[in-house]
Amino acid sequence: MKTGVNKLSVASTSALVLTYVKSLYEQGWGKAYLSHIDFSQVKGLADELSRITPLFREALLLRKRMVRQLIRQKMAQRSRTQICILAAGLDPLALQITEYFPDKDLMIYEVDSSNMREKQEIYTAINFTDERVRTLQADINNTHQLMTTLIDAGYDPEQPALIIFEGIMHYISEEQFLSIMRNFTTRAKQHAVIMDYLVYAEGLPSEAVSKATEMLDTMESYIGSRLQQFNRKKILNLLSLLEADVVEVYDMQSAELTLDGQNRVYKGERKGMLEMISFHI
């Protein structure tokens, strides 16, 4: 890729998600960053999912907005100076965090097994030079590689950190989740984690459940594997195995109410297919 000229062309779930949430990046570094990504390879799938149901876009936007809200809250509550964005993909979240905290002494570690070289090339193309961001290539499921890569880049396991685990639970097993998280557990529970997970279409009317099922089937056909779904009890059971302290849980309905002060999409008992949770480990 010739930086500043060509656009990154990818066919990935990360790019797919970004097609639906471009409205979050209409200014600043995020806007400059997205101008270097060619979404043509995922446009067909994005159009197909939008045809099935508009709730897919609504849910993704709500998830990303809520995760960002929780990041700002967690960073304000405790003196964390490290942020680890696991399976960061193409999302320019790190760029936005530098804009949220322009003067804060912190380090942001973006980690993924692919797209990191291309991501760094885009940073160069848009002249993003904030030294607080480290873009690292490692497989998060290879926990030895993950932790070695983080520590070599300056991450200090003894210092409080915020771990972002967004859009990952759908693609990994319960055992993989526990294996990853056990590398971050501390006696003092000084690390905070923000994550989301896919739940069954709780509270949605039968027609919406049918659409959600079709949407999931389409996604699974695209990625070539099953998407993992949970209920809240299962997630809480997993967190109990980590001896985690759960702080907050948001379904789509409560997230929309928290962010917008009213429920426009998720009314009544319509709780949606995603939940966000924060906990300390």
Handedness of CA 251, 59, 191, 141 (dihedral sign): positive
Beta bridge partners of 278: 194, 248
Residues 160-217: pLDDT tens digits? 999 999 999 999 999 999 999 999 999 999 999 999 999 987 666 777 788 888 888 9
pLDDT of residue 202: 65
Question: Per mean pLDDT, which range of 7-21, 25-39, 72-86, 129-143 is the poorest?
Answer: 7-21
d(C-alpha 108, C-alpha 98), whole Å: 9
**Tokens (6 digits) for 230:** 């949970």
Question: Per mean pLDDT, which range of 1-10, 24-33, 90-99, 240-249 is the poorest?
Answer: 1-10
pLDDT of residue 11: 52
**Residue 162 · residue 81 · CB < 8 Å:** no
d(C-alpha 166, C-alpha 163), whole Å: 9
Question: Per mean pLDDT, which range of 5-19, 26-40, 136-150 is the poorest?
Answer: 5-19
Q: Is 190 helix (H, G, I), strand (E, B) or coil?
A: coil
Alpha helices, H only, the chain: 13-20, 28-34, 40-52, 55-77, 93-100, 116-125, 143-152, 174-182, 206-223, 232-241, 252-260
Is the predicted pLDDT of residue 107 greater than 60, yes or no? yes
Q: Is 274 helix (H, G, I), strand (E, B) or coil?
A: strand
Burial of 101 (0-12, 13-18, 19+ CB in 10 A): middle
pLDDT of residue 3: 35
d(C-alpha 172, C-alpha 192), whole Å: 20
pLDDT of residue 203: 65
Task: Kindly give the pairing relationship between strand 82-86 and strand 161-165.
Answer: parallel
Give me the residue label for tokens 């905290």.
Answer: 101
Task: Kindly give the pairing relationship between strand 37-38 and strand 82-86.
Answer: unpaired
pLDDT higher at 268 or 154: 154
pLDDT of residue 12: 78
d(C-alpha 155, C-alpha 56), whole Å: 35
CA distances from 247 to 12, 74, 125, 187, 200 (A): 32, 11, 39, 17, 22
pLDDT band at 9 (very low <50, low <70, confident <90, very high): low
CA distances from 212 to 74, 116, 177, 235 (A): 32, 31, 25, 21
Tallying the residues shown for the chain, one arrives at: 281
